[in-house]
Structure 1
Amino acid sequence: MKVLLSHSAGNQNVRAMLDALTRAGLLARFATTVAADENSAMLRLMPANVRRDWLRRRFDVPREKILQHRWRELARVICGGAGWRSALRHEEGFASLDAVIQDFDRFVARSLPSVQRREPLGAVYAYEDGALDTFRAAGALGIKRIYDLPIAYWELGHRLQQEEAERLPDWSATLGGGLVDSRAKLARKTQELELADLVVVASTFVRDSLPVSAAHKAIVMSPFGSPARWTGGWSQAALDPARPMRVLFAGSMGQRKGLADLFAAMKLLAGENIELVVLGSPMESMEFYKGQYAGFTHEKSRPHAEVLALMRSCDVFCLPSIVEGRALVMQEAMSQGLPVVITANTGGADLVVEGRTGFLVPIRAPEQIAEKLSWLNRHRAELVAMKEEAARHSSSYSWTAYGDTVVEAIRRLEGVAPAVAAPT
């Protein structure tokens, strides 16, 4: 069964899927917006920093297998660099992320008939928000449809975030686009799932968020892989009771990721020798965050190798998210020797061997976050021992296994009747 894989950007899990399909001999085409060519003469004309960013969009796929649809994505990048915010306005701007993804989806849909004539396709593989037109075109051609859902299904996500807006109104602006998505966008998400023949998820949290109407569908759950485990040894600095225990939060600085609850926990820990480091992009002014809890240190986003180095300078990773899919940053932190204090809603419940690799806490539970952090601070020898356990456990998750598990589910699709959407 030959597969066309479609994604407008190509993040780490997309690349792993691309590699898996290539290894299995199933990749027919990879459709994306921009795929950099390292041999292009244009690269020599670019400033070094632009060239470096451009080459991040390089894919290890033969050029003849790549379909590109560049212009709207390039417009988004240019408008962002120039500060033209109206062009980027959520759902409305011609260069907004939604506009880029939907324009790209239409391009892939238009391309399917010509690809099918050259190399018969068995399936298309597309991601949430960028699948509807592709799936409709695939259905007309008798091609199976594989739907990758990277975060909890929108109905659960919307409900949880609406509850957060009511519980913590001061933080509502940090909840992101989930609460302001139009009915049309939400309807697209519903229709995408209806048309899917196979649903791919990375966690039990996402799988359990699916509506009852999807219960009959083929679903494959495959956890993301982890980065290479740090082998340079573990710092014994945490054993020094005079040194603050360093707690790391990494991600967008909003309440979808539970930052308000972590701030509340830190207030409860006043007087304990604990330091909070927040790595990520602000969603409000820094004055807002300092007004909520002044005692944290903010670290700006940085290249990945520097993120890993910062992780190794910390002792514990805390992510009390309200809704996620499976936050990759958890496994990154564990690979660098950080035990975790997380909620099941991060999608990482399987990462926690209680008391050995970290602790699970409920959502909206600052008191329990504080309890676990206090225990770790008061048990420094156990904390250092948990570093090795966390790194070892994270290394059991590989990107090869992630991709191969999904490929096996794709192979099982052959001979299965295609999904039919409910009438609208």
Structure 2
Amino acid sequence: MRSYAAAGNAGVMKVCVASAGPFHVFDLARQMERLGHLARFYTAYPRFKVDGLPAAKVSSFPWIMGPAALAGRLGMPGLRERLNFPMIETFDRWMAKRLAPCDVFHCLSSFGLQSHRAARSRHGALTVCDRGSSHITFQNEILRDEYEHYGIPYRGIDARIVERELAEYEFCDLISVPSSFSIRSFVEKGVARDKLRLNPLGVDLSMFHPMPKRDAVFRVLFVGSISIRKGIAYLLEAVKRAGIGALDLVLIGQVDKDAARIVAKCDVPLRQLGVLPRTELAAHYSQASVLVLPSVEDGFGLVMAQAMACGVPVIATTNTGAEDLFTDGVEGFIVPIRDGAAIADKIVFLREHPEMRDAMGAAALARVRALGGWNSYGEQMAAMYQAALAACAAAGR
């Protein structure tokens, strides 16, 4: 019997949150703690690396996550991939056995199938699957098409992980997604719209803020995984098409091995800064004239919000969550996927209209501040839980 005891009283709602790695669900846990709702946070990340939460509320199981992360750092992607599924299953089993009493159990997708079942059967909890990208089948298909376009073998998402996620989508009461693009992908794959909840991700406004630009160079910035998925080829094509001689193209992030040859073959000048600590990014955003996010598939490009918080306009594709963050032509531009020419046109426009570029940057800063950062994200999620709990209680479920 599902009691939904919290439905009528926000003060007693107990929320358990889970995320194996340091994704946006960490920020959700911090928000639930701020609002007084967090019962327990479960992670495969070492406890000492989880900041902003009381240690007594953090349950950590790093014993398989650690070796997998080490394999990635040592340049052994094959071993990292082989450890991935056992890590997911082991973490889920460990969590399901220990799940604290709660009214809501919210878990990052693929990691919580057994735990969702335990939350419902033992505690009568509302179960929420958090999918930070598009529907997993949609994601797999669009990336397969993209790899085929470049003649690069596509390994695909592990079929066992796909099966787990599809089971979670079916089982859970709600699926939380960060963008309208994600919503469309789920509906296209047959998921009922009333099961989906939209809540765009927040940004740390204390960490990301404008700093003075030190030069007059027109600088195009990309931040993120330099990969096929993130559309790096279309950015390189766009910069070449733009033909701006003094343009400074800066890439921040790790080069994925599948995209390495594309980057190596490009004949436009660029600077690669590698992976940088998040604490250093605001300084680099502030030196940019525009951030470009040309992703083919990206549930919500958090780098867009970070750049906007630094007063930088954004050019992004329709498959990034841009429409939920800014208005096309006001704080930046939204372009079709796989369209280097469209990106080039917008780069040239911003280069030739500095006053418009400055106005868009100011509008971007005002827009992201008005959205309220992570606090607004947490408050909207808590309200979503309350509404769902109340609806279920009213229906006698």
Q: TM-score, normalised by structure 1?
A: 0.81
- Give the whole-Å Cα distance in 1 for the aligned partners of 2:78 and 2:178: 34
Shift of residue 382, structure 1, vs aligned partner: 2.0
- Give the whole-Å Cα distance in 2 for the aligned partners of 1:259 and 1:83: 22
- Give the whole-Å Cα distance in 1 for the aligned partners of 2:192 and 2:14: 26
Name the residue aligned to 1:66: 58
Name the residue aligned to 1:52: none
What's the CA shift string for 1:28-59, capped at 9, x where partnerless? Answer: 2111124434xxxxxxxxxxxxxxxxxxx133
Name the residue aligned to 1:410: 385
- Give the whole-Å Cα distance in 2 for the aligned partners of 1:63 and 1:355: 45
Name the residue aligned to 1:192: 168
AA at the equivalent of 2:88:
I
**Aligned mate of 1:228, from 196, 205, 229:** 205
Name the residue aligned to 1:164: 146
Matches of residues 15-414 of structure 1 in structure 2 within 5 Å?
15-37=26-48, 57-81=49-73, 87-88=79-80, 90=81, 93=82, 96-112=83-99, 115=100, 120-141=101-122, 142-169=124-151, 172=152, 179-211=155-187, 213-215=190-192, 217-228=194-205, 234-235=212-213, 237-238=215-216, 243=217, 245-284=218-257, 288-397=262-371, 398-414=373-389
In the alignment, structure 1 residue 2 sits paired with structure 2 residue 14: yes
Shift of residue 71, structure 1, vs aligned partner: 1.1
AA at the equivalent of 1:301:
V
- Give the whole-Å Cα distance in 2 for the aligned partners of 1:101 and 1:388: 43
Report how many aligned residue pairs link the two structures.
Answer: 376
Q: Contact 2:47–2:55 (CA<8 Å) still a contact in 1?
A: no
What's the CA shift string for 1:177-211, capped at 9, x where partnerless? Answer: xx522322211110011011121111111111114
- Give the whole-Å Cα distance in 2 for the aligned partners of 1:78 and 1:260: 29
Tell me whether 346-355 or 196-205 shows the greater mean CA deviation: 346-355
Gap change, CA 1:317 and 1:131, over 3 Å in 2: same
Q: Contact 1:35–1:59 (CA<8 Å) still a contact in 2?
A: no
Tell me whether 263-272 or 354-363 shows the greater mean CA deviation: 263-272
Shift of residue 134, structure 1, vs aligned partner: 1.0
Shift of residue 314, structure 1, vs aligned partner: 1.5
Name the residue aligned to 2:3: none
Shift of residue 404, structure 1, vs aligned partner: 0.8
What's the CA shift string for 1:104-144, capped at 9, x where partnerless? Answer: 111111213xx3xxxx3222111111021112222332332
- Give the whole-Å Cα distance in 1 for the aligned partners of 2:68 and 2:119: 28
- Give the whole-Å Cα distance in 1 for the aligned partners of 2:294 and 2:71: 34
Shift of residue 271, structure 1, vs aligned partner: 4.9
What's the % identity of the aligned pairs? 27
What's the CA shift string for 1:203-261, capped at 9, x where partnerless? Answer: 111111114543164332111122327666653844xxxx4x11011111112111111
In the alignment, structure 1 residue 14 sits paired with structure 2 residue 25: yes
- Give the whole-Å Cα distance in 1 for the aligned partners of 2:193 and 2:318: 25
- Give the whole-Å Cα distance in 2 for the aligned partners of 1:303 and 1:329: 13
SS at match of 2:336: coil
Q: Contact 1:351–1:357 (CA<8 Å) still a contact in 2?
A: no
Gap change, CA 1:226 and 1:213, over 3 Å in 2: same
AA at the equivalent of 2:204:
P
Shift of residue 84, structure 1, vs aligned partner: 5.4
SS at match of 2:146: helix
Shift of residue 406, structure 1, vs aligned partner: 0.8
AA at the equivalent of 1:274:
L
Cα RMSD (Å): 2.4
SS at match of 1:329: helix
Shift of residue 272, structure 1, vs aligned partner: 4.3
What's the CA shift string for 1:284-318, capped at 9, x where partnerless? Answer: 38565131334221111112232221121121111
Structure 1, unmatched stretches of 5+, are 38-56, 419-424
SS at match of 2:238: helix
Shift of residue 360, structure 1, vs aligned partner: 0.9
Q: TM-score, normalised by structure 2?
A: 0.87
Q: Contact 2:134–2:297 (CA<8 Å) still a contact in 1?
A: yes
Q: Contact 2:175–2:196 (CA<8 Å) still a contact in 1?
A: yes
AA at the equivalent of 2:146:
E
